[in-house]
Amino acid sequence: MCEKDLDALRSACERAVEWADFIELRLDYLDSTPAEISELLQGLARPVILTFRPSEQGGHRNLSREERESFWKTAPRGEMVWWDVEDDLDLSPDCSRVIVSHHDFSGVPNDLQQIYERLADTPARVVKIAVQANDVVDCLPVFQLIDRARREGREVIAIAMGNAGLATRILGPSRGVFLTYGALDDESATAPGQVNAPKLRSLYHLDNIDNETMICGLIGLPVMHSVSPHIHNAAFASEGINGVYLPFEVRDVDSFFKRLVDPRTRELDWKLRGLSVTAPHKQSVMHHLDWIEPNAKEIGAVNTVVVEEDRLLGYNTDAAGLIDPLLKKFDSLADKQVAILGAGGAARAAIWALQRQNARVTLFARNVTKAQMLADSFNLSCEPLSSAKFAGYDLVINATPLGSGEHIEQSPASAEQLNGARCVYDLIYNPGDTKLLREARKVGCQTLGGLEMLVAQAKLQFELWTGRKPVP
């Protein structure tokens, strides 16, 4: 809880009781040094962790060592009160409810094990270490630290901060960490990558994860905008499957597959079963697979990986997922004039699927020289997107990232370019209403968003990973 005054803090605590096992009071967020907080603690229905963090350790205020020492000398104690104290301070003689903590916001330090050993030598009950992850592979040393602490019987909280570190927050409790952190809502997070507590419990089903939980996830960059966790985690729960689906922010695909995915080389003991693959990795993952289905080979892109014993198998469910909503809208795609915008993995799947429906496809790209190889591989013409006019086209499909993420205010085509097209299909699903679709409606085009495609291809992925067809 990070509020500016005691009344707001009290109100937030009352709301947190629904989701929390512990409630951490970030007292460094208060406008002034808390002289007396005992009254606030009375009547709280959960154990409380008191934190008075200086800015150099991720706190909200510049606090001198003297200010912090003075606070802890008079801080409340009791069976329901825990202290989180930085490792630069001398700890209280009674450390039965003390967490000694160390934070590094620059990355994963090379001496992580030595930092743990230093903190473990203190009398504190729990050792807490939080480091910054820039790639999901940065979670590996954190998981290894958790495993070491469990073997040594040392209570530990170990977290990789940032979006790339999300796996440590969700899987940590099942591997033995003392607790994990969640914000009350998205606006009140106190560390990079901190998920809110309702999502931890209702989306990721944190309390149900154990050592036998099947792990699946989405790899890409970015991934946090994806709604795939909502789809797959709901499907696991509906079917009674002990599984969890996580977003994995991956920059270095080679290192990720070697150190975390391939059963023959990975350095983490976990029950990884499958991966969804999104931009920009749909082609680069192919080099790491033992077998690729013929359709995916023809397309030249893989969006689904299955871990089968010691082998990695690759599939493409994008093509079937893309066609499914189109066949509901057009009884047949034969001889339909279709424009594909983009030249990445999604465009490859779209071209392959549409050609098998006997549609007449033209590729449009911002960089024609770069896209020409893709056009040649499917025997298509490739035109510059900037000067394109789509009058007379039955269907215009956006397979670029324009309209989402950091490109949310952009559109690959203007209303003027789209004028005269029958239907515009944007494969982006978040947001549901993109700038491209708004431009299309200005000139009377029919529109179709990407969520239907996402759900259709996700059903196929679910079946590949579980052997079951999800309930419609």
pLDDT digits (tens, 9 = 90+) for 367-403: 999 899 999 999 999 999 999 999 999 999 999 999 9
Q: CA end-to-end span of the chain, whole Å?
A: 40
Nearest residue to 398 via CA among 355, 443, 356, 366: 366
Q: How many CB atoms lie within 10 A of CB 398?
A: 28
**DSSP class of 91:** P
- The pLDDT assigned to 282 comes to 93
Nearest residue to 343 via CA among 320, 319, 367: 367
Alpha carbon distances (Å) from 291 to 310, 315, 328: 12, 9, 32
Euclidean distance between CA atoms 148 and 141, whole angstroms: 10
Q: How many CB atoms lie within 10 A of CB 235?
A: 21
At 215, list the tokens. 């792990």
472 pLDDT higher than 70: no
Is residue 315 a contact partner of residue 299, using CB atoms and an 8 Å limit? no
Instruction: Tell me the helix, strand and coil percentages in the chain, rounded to 5.
Output: 40, 20, 40
Determine how β-strand 304-308 pairs with β-strand 311-315.
Answer: antiparallel
156 pLDDT higher than 70: yes
**Domain topology for 215-316:** Rossmann fold (3.40.50)
- The pLDDT assigned to 125 comes to 96
Say whether 143 sits in a helix, a strand or coil.
helix
Determine how β-strand 337-341 pairs with β-strand 23-26.
Answer: unpaired
**DSSP class of 207:** G
33 pLDDT higher than 70: no
Given pLDDT bands bounded at 50, 70 and 90, which one contains residue 187? confident
- Of the two residues 61 and 433, the one the predictor is more confident about is 433
Given pLDDT bands bounded at 50, 70 and 90, which one contains residue 44? confident
471 pLDDT higher than 70: no
Beta bridge partners of 292: 314
Q: Where in the chain do CATH 3.40.50.10860 domains reside?
A: 215-316
The mean pLDDT value for 178-182 works out to 96
Determine how β-strand 98-104 pairs with β-strand 291-292.
Answer: unpaired
User: What residue has token string 């050792």?
Assistant: 127
CATH architecture assigned to 6-202: Alpha-Beta Barrel (3.20)
Helices (H), 172-246: 197-202, 228-238
User: What residue has token string 């202290």?
Assistant: 83
Helices (H), 75-132: 112-120
Is residue 197 a contact partner of residue 20, using CB atoms and an 8 Å limit? yes
Euclidean distance between CA atoms 5 and 24, whole angstroms: 15
Q: Where in the chain do CATH 3.40.50.720 domains reside?
A: 319-454
Q: How many CB atoms lie within 10 A of CB 196?
A: 18
What is the percent of the chain where pLDDT is above 70? 99
Rounded to 10 degrees, the C-alpha dihedral 418/422/427/433 comes to 70
> Is CATH 3.40.50.720 what the domain over 319-454 is classified as, yes or no?
yes
Rounded to 10 degrees, the C-alpha dihedral 378/380/384/390 comes to -120
Active site amino acids: 282
Give the DSSP H or E segment for 447: strand 446-448
Say whether 186 sits in a helix, a strand or coil.
helix
- The pLDDT assigned to 57 comes to 87
61 pLDDT higher than 90: no
- The pLDDT assigned to 7 comes to 86
Euclidean distance between CA atoms 344 and 346, whole angstroms: 6
User: What residue has token string 């620059």?
Assistant: 106
At 432, list the tokens. 């549901």
- pTM score: 0.92
